[in-house]
A and B are shown apart, each in its own frame.
Chain A
Amino acid sequence: MTKAYLSIENVGKTFTRGAATTEVLRGVSLDVARGEYVSIIGHSGCGKSTLLNLIAGLTEVTTGGIFLDNAAVQGPGPERAVVFQNHSLLPWLTAYENVKLAVDKVFSGKKSKGERHDWTMRNLELVHMAHAKDKRPAEISGGMKQRIGIARALAMEPKVLLLDEPFGALDALTRAHLQDQVMQIHATLGNTVIMITHDVDEAVLLSDRIVMMTNGPSARIGEVLGVPLERPRHRLELASDPTTIRCRSAVLKFLYERNRFVEAA
């Protein structure tokens, strides 16, 4: 039997610190098709970031396995590029150099020097940041930094793009703007994307499917909701669309009725 493009199979994660063990995830299974945009949503502390780190290979699974394109995930690598929540650009490099660092590393030997430069510029243009290529991270806004972060990840030509609450630290207007850009990029390049979020509207707007996690410890996938909305999507038209409203309320119900965040009350 052939596996799905990205296949998460019965994954569990237990952290051990001294004598104390905490089971964060238990029995998580998910299949993601090529080109699919999947959001993972849940209350904070439910282990969604842990799940993303497991897919990225930044932490190792305790049980189960993760397969990408029929190969087991072992350790981090550029075919699973991560856009980190706080952009994590290297502050001593310019925007261009930040992207170029990734391009040089991933395509050394595969592309010539000129091609690597062109590819870096292409990706900066993709996020509309070519004009600020010589700026350092400290000189540009939060939204611009996150766009450079996205450009860096895209430049690695990843098989799956992992977004860890990419717009969480941004103001609402900037966030909407970036969401539109990510949608546009997804439409153009057809990337497979997994995005962690805690924003219901964002999940509905961007995703093909929304994966809802139960509360930790021992979090699991509670429900998977398909979002049957035509693309391209426009946020204004969708605001009053019945399907959107149905999906929104389904996610809200899951999060606030069946899986209330107990400690927050």
Chain B
Amino acid sequence: MPSPALKSVPSTAKPAGSTQASVVALPVKPAPRPARLQPLLAHAGERLLPPTLVLALILFIWEIACSSPGASLPPPSQVLTDSWELIAHPFYDNGGIDKGLGWHLLASLQRVAVGYAIAAVVGVALGVLVGQSTWAMRGLDPLFQVLRTVPPLAWLPLSLAAFRDGEPSAIFVIFITSVWPVIINTAVGIRNIPADYVNVAKVLRLNGLEYFAKIMIPAAAPYIFTGLRIGVGLSWLAIVAAEMLIGGVGIGFFIWDAWNSSLISDIIVALVYVGLTGFVLDRMVAGVASLVTRGTANS
């Protein structure tokens, strides 16, 4: 028996001559979009509303506090008008050091990338050594504990003397700042490898290289990434300070230069950029960490 739907929509039926089977357009269920979107929106509201409100409040207080004629710092509205060029065109280039903030940030990020990469490799290698060998730990650990307390900028004059150039000195400062947490956390991670995993490796007669790749690094990975995350934060802290002293292109020098030119609004804009970049760097390392160590949570 033909269904009423068939009769009412004959165009959907196949041409005569073929079988009598026909395509019946099922009524499309109206997607309950608002209903499905609602919890998502509610969630976003819960997470985004408080920071937005707090930010608005701070900007408001700042605006009020700095609006008097004698204020030493510009209110946010003035920052916006003063430095609009800077905010709107992050990648202009007038030659020399007169570049957009984007170029300065990229120059700084490049230095951080090189210094931090060296620190990561050297840090993990030294951490493995110190974590594996009691002798190396006894010999090196006191040295590390003393050296890691030296403030990053204190290394700068020495490295300038050694390298006789700003660029490698800045990279060295990044390296020396971020290497300690990597070393120390890697060593702790290696020393905390459960005896069971070591026994498994022994029963299987894994050789040194297999043990390193299949047991040691995965087992210590959560610790290593903790170190790497602290390290990336420290190196971003150090680069801004180091660049203030070495000059050239870089966000640190940009801030120092703006101060010398009394462009307070530019400094404020740069600080926002520095903060956001540091935040992104931290999130990036954390993201890689959770990707790589997804299975290492012990149970």
Chain A interface (Cβ within 8 Å of chain B)?
A: 56-58, 75-78, 80-82, 84, 86, 88, 90-93, 101-102, 105-106, 136-138, 156
Contacts and interface: CB of A to CB of B under 8 A. Distances in A.
A90 B199 contact: no
B47 interface: no
Interface of B: 194, 196-197, 199-200, 202-206, 210, 214-215, 218-219, 221, 293, 295-299
A93 B196 CA distance: 15
Nearest to B204: A105
18 contacts: A56-B203, A76-B202, A78-B205, A80-B203, A82-B199, A88-B196, A88-B199, A90-B219, A91-B296, A91-B297, A92-B221, A93-B295, A137-B299, A138-B295, A138-B298, A138-B299, A156-B203, A156-B204
A88 B298 contact: no
A102 B205 CA distance: 10
A106 B204 contact: yes
B178 to A, nearest CB: 25
Contact of B215 (A57, A81, A90, A102): A90
A136 B295 CA distance: 7
Given A82-B203, A90-B215, 8 more contacts: A91-B295, A91-B296, A91-B298, A91-B299, A92-B295, A106-B204, A138-B295, A138-B297
Contact of B218 (A80, A84, A90, A105): A90
A86 B196 contact: yes
B200 to A, nearest CB: 6
Contact of A101 (B204, B221, B297): B204
Contacts of A77: 203, 205
Contacts of B210: 105
Contact of A84 (B199, B215, B296, B298): B199
Nearest to A86: B196
A90 B197 contact: yes
A137 B295 CA distance: 9
Contacts of B221: 92
B298 A78 contact: no
B187 to A, nearest CB: 20
A88 B194 contact: yes
A65 to B, nearest CB: 20
A105 B204 CA distance: 7
Contacts of A105: 204-206, 210
Contacts of A136: 295
A193 to B, nearest CB: 16
